[in-house]
Structure formats: C-alpha cells, structure tokens
Structure 1
Amino acid sequence: MESNSCSSFSQQPRQRQPPENLRVSIDGRSFAVDKTILSEKCEYFRALFQSGMRECQQEEIQLQCVGVLGFQVMLQVLGGKHPMLSSDQIVEAIECAAFLQVPALTEHLINIVNSENCLLIYHTAATYGVGELSYSSALFIRDMYPELKEEVHTLPKKMVDYIESLLPSSYMAVCSHSPSTEQLKDLQRTVCYLDEDNSEWKVLTHLPVSTSTTMAGVAVLDNKLYIIGGVHDITKKVVENGFCYNPAANTWSTICGSQQLRYNLTLIGHEGCLYAIGGEFNMKALSSVERYTVSNGSWGFVPPLPCPAALVASAIAVNRIFICLWKGKGATDILEYASERNQWLLVTTLIREHSYGLYMVPHKDNLYVMRNGPCDDFLMCVMDCYNLSSGQWTAMSGQYGNSKGSLLTAVARGDSVFTLSREVTTEYTVEDYKWRVKREMKGFGRIGSIYTFLMRLNKVCVSNMENSVDQDQKVRGFPRFSPQCSDSL
C-alpha cells in the first residue's frame, strides 16, 4: 500500500497476527490506542486493517493528515467521554472527522454546537466537507439568526444564502383536550404556533376528533409531532392509538399505541425513537419504559425506571436523555438513559428543602431544574443548574414565575428559553447562570395543561392552513381536514 497525502507508515517486519494494541504517532507525539476500537469506529483505520497489505501488521503508524488536538478529542469521544472543546480543538476535531471518517466524532461535534462556536463549526465543516455537521450548525444559526446576523454576514455569500434558505424553529403549544365528535367539533382543539413578528399565537392545525391530549405524552421527533396515550374522559379510559402530525404535508396519521396502556406519561423523541416513560394505568403508577422505533413501527420494552413514576420531568442535553425522579425527603435524582448500554444511570442528586423537580430545561451542557418555591407556592419556581461537564450544582439567583405565569412548561432555542401562561408569553435570555427577560408577548389564552415544543414550519403550509381555517369558519363554523395520504385522518 503506497503512502498518500493523509499518512505514511513506518516499515516494520511482517507479523503473523496483527497486534491488538497500536501506537499512532502525530507530530512527534505518540498515542497508545486500541486497534479493535479504531477498526470498529473509524472508517479510515477499518479500511487499512482490512487491506491485507503489510502496513496493517505494523505496531506503529505515523499520521500526517490530522493534528494532535483533534486526535486527542477523537480518542476521548471513542472512550465514551463528552468533552466541551476550545476553538483550536474544534477545528482539528473537524479535520480529524473529515480525514479519518469517524461518525461518533461528527455526532459529538453536532451535539456541542452552541452560540459561541456555531459559526466556526459551520465554516470549518463546510470547508472540510463534513456535510451533516455543516447542516446541523447551519440550522442552529438559522434559529439564532437575529442575534447572529452581523457575524453571519462575515461568511461567504453562498454560505449566508444557505442559512437563510433553511426553516427556523417555531415555538408551539397545544392544550389538554379530550376527544370530540364529527358532529360536535371543538374549535379550541388546535395546535398553535407563536408568530414572533406579530407577537401573537396562531392556529397551525386542528387535532383529529379521536385524538386526546389530556394526560397524554407529547413529543417531537424528526420534525413530526407525536401524541401517545391520553384519556377519553374522567373514567381515564386510555386512547389506544397514537397520532402523528407532519407539518411538511399538513397531515395527521395514526400509529400503534404503546403495548402498556398509560396516561400521565413522559414522551421523549430521540435518534429515530420515541420513549414512553412511566405514567399511570388504572390509578397505579408505572415503572415500565417502552421504545417505539419509527423505521419499523414497533414498540419494545427497555429497562424500567428504578421506581414507579408519572409526569417525569425530562430533557435532552448534548443529545443525551435525562429525567428527574423524586425520592422524597428533599431529594431528586437525575438519571440518564444510556442508549448504547441500554440502562438508566444515576447522574447526580439534588438535595434541597423544596426540591420536587417540576420541569427541566437544557442549555449547552447545563440542566436547569425548576422546583417548587417557598411556602409551597407553585407559581414561584426556584431554579438550580447542573453542569454535566463539571458535575457541579449552582443555585440560580432570583425566582422565576409570578402571578402572570410560571415555568411549569419551557422550551430552549439557541440562547433563549420560551415560557407561557394564559396571560403572557415570555422569552428569556440565558446568560451566566441567570435568566434575563428579553421580551413579553401575547399569552396563550387557553385553559388546561399546556404542552410546548419546537417545530420547523413550511411557510406555504402555514399560509394555506390559515386561509382554510378562516374560510371554513366563515362558511361552516368549523375547520376543514384535507387528508393527503392513505393513513391520514
């Protein structure tokens, strides 16, 4: 095998069996690495070791295409760590991901995109041709375009045009509603989005008549809205089917409900799967957890929670699933579901006099846990921040929530967190362990529990939906449904 622009190999005598351990030399630095891991996780080394040429028998390889910092980051990621990176490390890590073809490293870089590094990652990934990373960082920039506009326009015009061509995330909300009937439709059964330009809420779509969001699990996965569980009425009879809304086509479809009927569950969308966590059935709390794989449309059980729990607070931070479990006596456990190991891991425990975890919001490598405030005032939310990298808790200054609204539902987008109530929608800016009010907009004037989430909405679809709703309400007093696929409702 001839040496190329990426590497050269020191000449060593042929061995009968390739060694399990290998030394990799870069710019005079030598690294002892596990050959099996390199073969499994790195396309470049897999091709080398399977070539059958004499170089695959060597005990030491000299790499010329990547830098020391990038290779060190790669080894950390392949070892299961989640390092936050400096600018120099980011550039070399992207170079390493490009030349050595390491999917796990690319995924890690996607997971750590934030407002401080997104422009660097976007430009560098585009330069080295790491398409998935370039796309993900461009989406992040699109969501923060107003705040980053000046910096964005220092990029080449072609890159700016690409960012502007992408759909931004919209803040979405739906209230708890029981099923209705074709004869008596409830005009309040709608999924709404925040029109930030006009600071008001608008209807995107209406819930199918058989869908219940009362005590249901609601989550977004791959820009589709899923609703699982929910009850028909006070009898708490569970709706057996699940429902999926595709904003690109403006259609609803049905999917199989979870094997264990459940309500008051937590639903999480992550890496092509839905996770139905805990909940209740027949007035009993559940510890079981099910995973729905979208690609094959099937449910399967995964390891259960350590204890039965309903309405579990959850968050996805740096692409990792975290939940809060109340232990009692002033303690709340933070657990992570490690999908590669298929188990729940205890991360940390929050111990406070008032520590019942009500909601959890991710930002960068931080988890912000909202909990009930003093005097059992659930409209006064006290907050603590747990940093995943340092493993340290920080008590947040000030209290969040007042008579106009609370943080019992919140969604992070870029460096903003959106919260709402019937009276006001508030956007906070997250900075240095403090949330600062950025602006207040019209509230979500509905009663009942509110689910909030983010979705990317096609402007044509939004315009058509608004026009059809306006026209139908004038003509018949209720909205029209226009099925566009065989299993649409």
Structure 2
Amino acid sequence: MASDTKKRRMRSQIYGSELIKSYAQMRENEELTDFVVSTEGQSFKVHKTLLAASSDYFRAMLQGVMRETKEERVDLKGLTAASLCQTLDFLYSGEMDLDFDNLIEVLNAASHLQVNAALELCSDFMTTLLNFSNAEELLHVADTYSLDRVVKCYEAKVLKHFEEFSNTEMFTRLTGTQLARFVADNQLRVRSEMVLFDIIARWYSGKKEDGVDGIITYVRFGLLSEQQLTQLHNHWLVRKSATAALCIQRALQFHRDSARGHPKLSEQTQLRCTQNSLVMVHQDSLRPLEITAYDGKEGRFYQLLTDLSSCRDTRICSFDNMMYMCRVVDCGGGTLMNSLLRFDLRHLRLQELTPCSRLRLDPAVVCCGKKLFVFGGVDDNYSILDSVEGYDIEANRWTNFAPGLPQATHSLAAVEHNGCIYLCGGVSATDRQPTTSMYKFDPEARTYTQQSPMQCPRRLHEMSVLQDCIYVLGGIGSHTFNQNTQIPIEAFCISSNQWSILTGTLAGRSVGHYMSYEGEIVSLGREHNGATEEDIWLYSLQSDTWRSFIKAPRRMTLASAACTKLDVNFFDEKIAQRIISDKR
C-alpha cells in the first residue's frame, strides 16, 4: 500500500440520522431517560442532553439552579398535551404531522420551547398551503410567531402572480407604500407595463387619499412603445398626475435618443424578471437575419426578430443589454459595404447605426467600457490590416485608434477582461499563416503587452473568460500540428501568464460558436464528433469534458450562428408569444 501522510477529515453521511434513531429507541425503551416533562396530567420521559441540544428553553433551564432541574421534572402549563407530544416526537425524529387544525397548537409549543427547527418545519408547511384566499389568515399567524420565511414566500407569490393577485380583495386593501414596493421590484412578473399601469389605475380609482405619484414613478414607461405612450396622454390618471405626465415625456425622449444613437438608460427602461440567456444571431449570405433566444429554465427557444437583410460576415458583442452587430453586406455586383446594427430587447427593435470607415472582413470585435473596438481584418483588396477603429457607443461615432496592431492580422479573436482586451492568433501578413501570438491591449494607455504565446497556432477561433482563465476554443490550425480534424482547447492563466492544453474539438470556423454560460462553456453546432448542426453542447472546466446540452428546433441551423448573452424577460408578452415550436 502506498504511504500517504496527508490527513483527510472525513464526514459520515448517516451519523446524524443514526444518532437520532438511537435516541428514539432509547426513549421508547425508557433507557437512560433522566427527565420528565408533563402537561394536562400527561407525563413524558425524555433525555436532558437531547432537550438541551434541541431547545434553547430547556438548555437555559437545565443549566441553571431552578427547582425543576433539581426535581428532574417540569410541568409546562399553557401547552396542550397533544402539542407537547408532537414537539417531543419531533425532537426524537425530525418529523411532525401537521394540518390546518393543529398548526396553531404546535406553533405555540415550538415557540414557547424555542425549538427553532420545529418552527422552520411549520414555516415549510405554511408555504405549501399559502394561496391568495387564505393568505390573510396565514400572514397573521406568521406575524404572531415571527415566521419571516412565510412572509417572504407570500411576497414572492405576489410578484410571480401579480395579475392574479390584482383581482383579489387583499390587493384593493394595499396601502400606497405596499403597492409601490411591489411595483418597484425587478422580479414583478407582468405581461407588459401597460397592463401594470391599468392595474394601478384600477387600484387608485375611487380612493380619497393621494399618493399615486409614489407608485407611478416605478412603472417602466421606457418599455412602452411610442404608440402606447401617446395613447396614455389622454388617460384620466395621467391628467391627474403630473408625475405620470413627466414619466411619459421622459420615455418619449428615450425613443428619440434611441433613434439618434445610444439612449440614456434609467430605472424606467430596465427590464423586469430577467434571466441571463443565450441570444443567437443566425445569418449568412444565403439566409435572412434571424435573432433567437434560449430560455434555460423552461428549455425553450424564442424567435425575437427576423429581417430580410443578409450579409457576408457578422461579428457580435453586447453593451448595456443591447447587442451590436458589425457586418459586411454584399450589395451585389461584388460591392461590399460595412454595416453596424443594434438590437434592443426592450422593443425587439433593430436599428442601423454609423458603420466603421474601413471595410473589414474577419476582424476581431469586442466591447470594452463604453466603446466597441474592431481590430485588423482584410479589406476589399484582400490586404491584411493592422489598423484599429473604436466606436463611441454613446456618441455614435467612430475614430481611428492608434497605435494599430503589433502586426497586420485577420481572423484573430478578442475578449475583454477587467478593462483590458486580450487578442490572440489569426493570420499575419508576414507569412499568411496562423499565429500563436497573444497580446494584452490597454485601451486607456493605448499599449500592447506581449503575453506567452499559445501552443497551437489558429485562426477563426473564439475566446471565452471564466474566473482567472481565458479559454481559446475551436478554429483552424496549421498542418504541422496534424489538426485537420481535431484542435485542442487551450487555457491561459491570466495571473501566471501560462497556457495549458485541454481536450480537443473539431477544427473549423468557430467564430461566435463558443460562450461562457453558468460557469461552463457552450458550443453551437457541429464542434464535436458526436454533435450535429442542431446541437448545443456544454464544456465542464472541472472535468475537461463535453456533454450534450440541448438540441435546437429542427429548422434552426447553428452552422452560421453566433451567440452572446443578454438579460431576457421571457414573460414579456412581446416575447412570450414567439416560442419556436419543434415539430420533429
């Protein structure tokens, strides 16, 4: 046997439950019982040590010099025999029989004896019963016994089913402060802000007290369309509330700012009830633009937008929960043009912005701070570029960013981390072969710092950041590595400036096909031997293995897709009705 002097602290998974079983058996056989608890003429033999370990009330009693300690018995007046028996049985089993009829008795005993675990179990039971018809009664009980978890469960239920709650008697009795707190919450689930506005108007109609301004200010008017905002101008509540009128004017200004460039965001333009989701752009020269999103909780795909325009090359990134698409559009007759589009989830709107000044095929595109950077690429004369352009997102303006790349490169990859941009690989103008180079670019200082090179030269690959590592995935390598079918994943440790070789993927064009997702990395399409063009796979950092994650709807090919992440509200009525049905 190999010697190993390192100590390991091991934990038994069954020790606690077996200990309780032994205590229960000893109680049943009256072995070593050393204390008696009684009420209403009924007595129960128990063990002091278990009482003290489970109840703050008994611990204080048994450690003191009270008469009960000396007599080794106590009569608990005020508790019913049934509730005391239930509580003691719980101490010896961790289980309790509860129903609506005995709940108050058991809560009274558990609260009096300060058995916190029993109170938690009662809270669990109450949350299973909780609905809008019995909420008032259960909330009164929860308030009496300070069961905060029941109150939080009720509030979460209101937020999740707010439209249903708005039709109850409890809703009409809400104070302005209480309603404002719900309306302000980001987790409030409503089909639209117009529905929410109508609910507030219904609550306020007929009320004598003022205070609607403090509620209206939390409505996300910026999520309403210009047509909806115009309709609200004549609403009786808007005519009565100067705050509502001002909020509508600000929302209309948001739309005007959006048309000119990047709008100023505020709480009134923030999406509710979002989850960080994969958003994919499907486009090539033979198919129109399509934007889809994946709901990880429900396992559904949604078609957010379709557009008849097509393009030859697309790079995407995101800022302020908006997606930016740098494209090269084929205008026919061999004429290529730059295009910059912004997709806004708030209104499922696609907007044309100012394109970069120089035509670029296969550049690296990345957002850093409030700028979008485009590095290198190939122009329409197939000259490899070293120039860099920066797009000021708020000003909708491009500028040349000097100095350019250390060497002219196309088909390189870029990723942002802690305010700096890391660039690697690509085809250099020197020998027109894939490189292993890695640079760290500081946009503030405008300096490039050379990092340790990759092990494997590659082009048309992707980079992803997780924790302190940058992962380089996919792409096409050089023939010297015999990578006509497989190309390894490489991990760059930022703190140590060192690379590690990991498992392989299929070699090929991988731009936009990899993205960090919930602590792992997803891949789109046929990036693995076992995957098809409809597959999305997951890479585990811990095990260095891939596994099948989900299959896209059959008509949705991922071969030409690129992905990013955006916060999506799948309960918004504009999105909820766009589920892609998969008829296999």
Which residue identity is paired with 1:365? D
Which residue identity is paired with 2:407? C
Distance between the aligned counterparts of 1:468 and 1:199, measured in 2? 14
Asked if 1 retains the 8 angstrom alpha-carbon contact of 2:465 and 2:516, the reply is yes
Q: Residue 264 of structure 1 is aligned with which of 338, 362, 368?
A: 362
Which residue identity is paired with 1:389? S
- How big is the shift at 1:280? 1.8
Aligned pairs for 1:39-78 (under 5 A) are none
Which residue identity is paired with 2:454? L
Which residue identity is paired with 1:417? I
Aligned match of 1:428: 539
Asked if 2 retains the 8 angstrom alpha-carbon contact of 1:231 and 1:263, the reply is no
**Does 2:173 match 1:173?**
no
Aligned match of 1:201: 301
Q: Residue 296 of structure 1 is aligned with which of 390, 395, 401?
A: 395
Aligned match of 2:462: 359
Q: Residue 218 of structure 1 is aligned with which of 313, 316, 325?
A: 316
- Higher Cα Rg: structure 1 or 2? 2
Distance between the aligned counterparts of 2:318 and 2:462, measured in 1? 17
Distance between the aligned counterparts of 2:511 and 2:377, measured in 1? 21
Aligned match of 1:275: 373
Structure with the largest fraction of strand: 1
Distance between the aligned counterparts of 2:522 and 2:465, measured in 1? 12
Which residue identity is paired with 1:413? Y
Q: Residue 452 of structure 1 is aligned with which of 551, 557, 563?
A: 563
Judging changes above 3 Å, is the alpha-carbon distance between structure 1 residues 267 and 234 closer, same or farther for their aligned structure 2 residues? farther
Distance between the aligned counterparts of 1:335 and 1:357, measured in 2? 17
- How big is the shift at 1:227? 1.7
- How big is the shift at 1:289? 0.8
Distance between the aligned counterparts of 2:507 and 2:299, measured in 1? 20
Secondary structure of 1:290's partner?
strand
Asked if 2 retains the 8 angstrom alpha-carbon contact of 1:232 and 1:239, the reply is yes
Kindly provide the CA deviation profile for residues 400-452 of structure 1, in whole angstroms up to 9, marking residues without a partner as x: 3499x9797200023121111123111223226x2453734336732753211
Aligned match of 2:490: 384
Which residue identity is paired with 2:463? M
**Does 2:577 match 1:467?**
yes
Asked if 1 retains the 8 angstrom alpha-carbon contact of 2:538 and 2:547, the reply is yes
Show structure 1 runs of 5+ residues with no match. Answer: 1-152, 180-185, 471-489
Asked if 2 retains the 8 angstrom alpha-carbon contact of 1:238 and 1:262, the reply is no
Secondary structure of 1:464's partner?
helix
Secondary structure of 2:482's partner?
helix
Secondary structure of 2:351's partner?
strand
Percent same amino acid among aligned pairs? Answer: 15
**Which shows bigger deviation, 420-429 or 313-322?**
313-322
**Does 2:497 match 1:399?**
no
Judging changes above 3 Å, is the alpha-carbon distance between structure 1 residues 357 and 174 closer, same or farther for their aligned structure 2 residues? closer
Judging changes above 3 Å, is the alpha-carbon distance between structure 1 residues 446 and 233 closer, same or farther for their aligned structure 2 residues? farther
- How big is the shift at 1:257? 0.5
- How big is the shift at 1:286? 1.6
Aligned match of 1:342: 446
Aligned match of 2:351: 253
Equivalences, count: 302
Which residue identity is paired with 2:443? S
Asked if 2 retains the 8 angstrom alpha-carbon contact of 1:411 and 1:453, the reply is yes
Judging changes above 3 Å, is the alpha-carbon distance between structure 1 residues 356 and 414 closer, same or farther for their aligned structure 2 residues? same
Judging changes above 3 Å, is the alpha-carbon distance between structure 1 residues 294 and 402 closer, same or farther for their aligned structure 2 residues? closer
Secondary structure of 1:239's partner?
strand
Distance between the aligned counterparts of 1:261 and 1:401, measured in 2? 30
- How big is the shift at 1:455? 1.0
Q: Residue 409 of structure 1 is aligned with which of 504, 513, 524?
A: 513
Distance between the aligned counterparts of 2:336 and 2:579, measured in 1? 29
Distance between the aligned counterparts of 2:497 and 2:452, measured in 1? 8
Show structure 2 runs of 5+ residues with no match. Answer: 1-147, 160-184, 188-271, 526-532
Distance between the aligned counterparts of 1:459 and 1:216, measured in 2? 26
Kindly provide the CA deviation profile for residues 219-247 of structure 1, in whole angstroms up to 9, marking residues without a partner as x: 21221111223121675533344211110
Distance between the aligned counterparts of 2:487 and 2:425, measured in 1? 18
Distance between the aligned counterparts of 1:427 and 1:439, measured in 2? 6
Judging changes above 3 Å, is the alpha-carbon distance between structure 1 residues 250 and 407 closer, same or farther for their aligned structure 2 residues? closer
**Does 2:389 match 1:306?**
no
TM-score, normalising length: structure 1: 0.54
Distance between the aligned counterparts of 2:359 and 2:510, measured in 1? 31
Aligned match of 1:48: none
Distance between the aligned counterparts of 2:356 and 2:278, measured in 1? 27
Q: Which has the higher contact order (CA 8 A, sep 6+)?
A: 1
**Does 2:304 match 1:227?**
no
Secondary structure of 1:238's partner?
strand
Secondary structure of 2:293's partner?
strand
Q: Residue 442 of structure 1 is aligned with which of 552, 557, 580?
A: 552
- How big is the shift at 1:163? 8.5
Aligned pairs for 1:4-15 (under 5 A) are none
Which residue identity is paired with 1:168? Q
TM-score, normalising length: structure 2: 0.46
Aligned match of 1:243: 341
